[in-house]
């Protein structure tokens, strides 16, 4: 396997995207924040303040809890759990503890780490929930512990039943399924509750600005500020940063080749994190400037939409590279890629959400508001 050049090429390509985005973020930060904040903080006459447009106008609404806020907490918590799992797995793989020749080792390590990262999931979701003035942390903790694993387990179970039906030796035996359920309810769920309890006991995160009683009207938005448009744009760049590496990963999973270049993978993963964060910050800034303050869900979905491109790419790969003719094999492929895309959605979405969360808190805490 001598495709090191391709990997370097893909990393350079991804770094270009990152540099371009970083430049944009830096420009926004310096130009706007420096200019806007100094302008906002100069004592203006009342008429000038009336004519003021831009992100300062929505300060009374920007930290208003979104609709379906509990579900957002659940998804952000799950994303944190996933991020923890992927980071630790990759660090172990880069240091050489997880050999790719031992196929099951990587999977076992990921499952165990997922279970133990539950404590962070509970903590993150209940911290956010308390900030949204929620009181029933147990409900949110339970949903965090069951929603994502439940959906994945359901898909997995259906796929496994299909393999059983084919009387294949590749089916996961019943004992292993039972062990997975025990891991999930015996370790993961209690840990999520522990994390939730700790997170809820902490003092709530204070908003930098007060929220008004009455929500303000959102003005008519330009076509390019439409939420669907920003989802589609927001997903392209993070996907573009990883898709060459993705080709190698798919080849190693479906065409039985070894994947051993974890150092490259780790680099690409870091690039993915930075890209997701930056594209979401840029789009969130444009959105606030056009006086649309509904950024909570939008920031999550903007970077999370790269999972849609991942699934489309997997479909393309299926029809161009794989010669699968049996229906069950095709279903297996799409089932597993659906699980992978869902996981990718949760991971990238949470990164985008936290980036926007940090950004909005930063800019609103630096302007003086009467």
pLDDT in tens, 139-183: 999 999 999 999 999 999 999 998 888 877 777 888 888 999 999
What is the predicted pLDDT for the residue at 305? Answer: 94
pLDDT tens readout for residues 31-47? 777 777 677 666 555 55
**Do residues 346 and 189 touch, judged by C-beta distance below 8 A?**
no
Strand ranges (E), the chain: none
What is the predicted pLDDT for the residue at 245? Answer: 83
Q: What's the angle, vertex CA 159, arms to CA 153 and CA 160, rounded to 5?
A: 85
Tell whether 74 and 161 lie within a shared domain: yes
Tell whether 242 and 135 lie within a shared domain: no
Query: What's CA 327's distance to the chain center, in Å?
Result: 32
Range of the domain at 352: 222-369
Q: Does the predicted model carry a pTM greater than 0.85?
A: yes
Tell whether 343 and 232 lie within a shared domain: yes
Tell whether 231 and 180 lie within a shared domain: no
**Do residues 297 and 66 touch, judged by C-beta distance below 8 A?**
yes
pLDDT tens readout for residues 306-321? 999 999 999 999 999 8
Tell whether 192 and 238 lie within a shared domain: no
Domain membership of residue 185 (yes or no) is yes
Tell whether 101 and 239 lie within a shared domain: no
Closest-CA residue to 245 (of 310, 189, 186): 310
Q: How confident is the model at residue 264 (pLDDT cuts 50, 70, 90)?
A: confident
Tell whether 115 and 248 lie within a shared domain: no
Distance CA 366, CA 360 (A): 10
Number of domains, the chain: 2
Domain membership of residue 47 (yes or no) is no
Tell whether 232 and 336 lie within a shared domain: yes
Tell whether 66 and 143 lie within a shared domain: yes
Tell whether 180 and 60 lie within a shared domain: yes
Domain's final residue, options 172, 203, 234: 203
Domain membership of residue 42 (yes or no) is no
* DSSP letter (8 states) at residue 203: P
Domain membership of residue 161 (yes or no) is yes
Tell whether 229 and 352 lie within a shared domain: yes
Which of the pair, 151 or 16, is modelled with greater confidence?
151
Distance CA 337, CA 335 (A): 5
Cα Rg for the chain, rounded, in angstroms?
23
Tell whether 237 and 154 lie within a shared domain: no
Closest-CA residue to 314 (of 235, 231, 250): 250
Closest-CA residue to 338 (of 156, 103, 115): 156
Distance CA 239, CA 19 (A): 16
Which of the pair, 253 or 131, is modelled with greater confidence?
131
């Amino acid at each position: 396997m001598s495709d090191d050049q391709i990997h370097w090429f893909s990393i350079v390509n991804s770094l270009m995207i990152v540099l371009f985005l970083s430049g944009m973020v830096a420009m926004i930060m310096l130009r706007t924040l420096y200019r806007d904040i100094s302008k906002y903080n100069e004592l203006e006459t009342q008429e000038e303040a009336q004519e003021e447009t831009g992100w300062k106008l929505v300060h009374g609404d920007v930290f208003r809890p979104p609709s379906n806020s509990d579900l957002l907490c659940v998804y952000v918590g799950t994303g944190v759990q996933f991020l923890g799992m992927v980071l630790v797995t990759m660090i172990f793989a880069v240091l050489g503890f997880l050999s790719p020749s031992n196929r099951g080792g990587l999977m076992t390590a990921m499952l165990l780490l997922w279970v133990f990262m539950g404590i962070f999931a509970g903590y993150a979701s209940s911290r956010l929930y308390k900030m949204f003035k929620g009181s029933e942390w147990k409900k949110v903790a339970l949903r965090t512990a069951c929603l994502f694993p439940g959906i994945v387990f359901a898909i997995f179970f259906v796929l496994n039943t299909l393999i059983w039906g084919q009387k294949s030796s590749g089916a996961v035996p019943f004992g292993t399924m039972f062990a997975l359920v025990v891991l999930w309810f015996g370790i993961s769920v209690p840990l999520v509750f522990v994390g939730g309890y700790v997170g809820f006991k902490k003092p709530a995160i204070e908003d930098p600005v007060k929220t008004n009683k009455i929500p303000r009207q959102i003005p008519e938005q330009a076509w390019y500020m439409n939420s669907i448009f920003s989802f589609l744009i927001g997903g392209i760049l993070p996907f573009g940063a990883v898709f060459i590496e993705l080709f190698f990963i798919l080849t190693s999973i479906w065409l039985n080749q070894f994947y051993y270049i974890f150092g490259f993978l780790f680099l690409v993963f870091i690039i993915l994190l930075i890209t997701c964060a930056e594209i979401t910050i840029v789009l969130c800034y444009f959105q606030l400037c056009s006086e649309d303050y509904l950024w909570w869900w939008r920031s999550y979905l903007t970077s999370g939409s790269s999972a849609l491109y991942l699934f489309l790419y997997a479909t393309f790969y299926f029809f161009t590279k794989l010669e699968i003719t049996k229906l069950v094999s095709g279903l297996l492929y799409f089932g597993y890629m659906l699980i992978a895309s869902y996981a990718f959605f949760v991971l990238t979405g949470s990164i985008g959400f936290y980036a926007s969360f940090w950004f909005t808190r930063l800019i609103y805490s630096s302007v003086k508001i009467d």
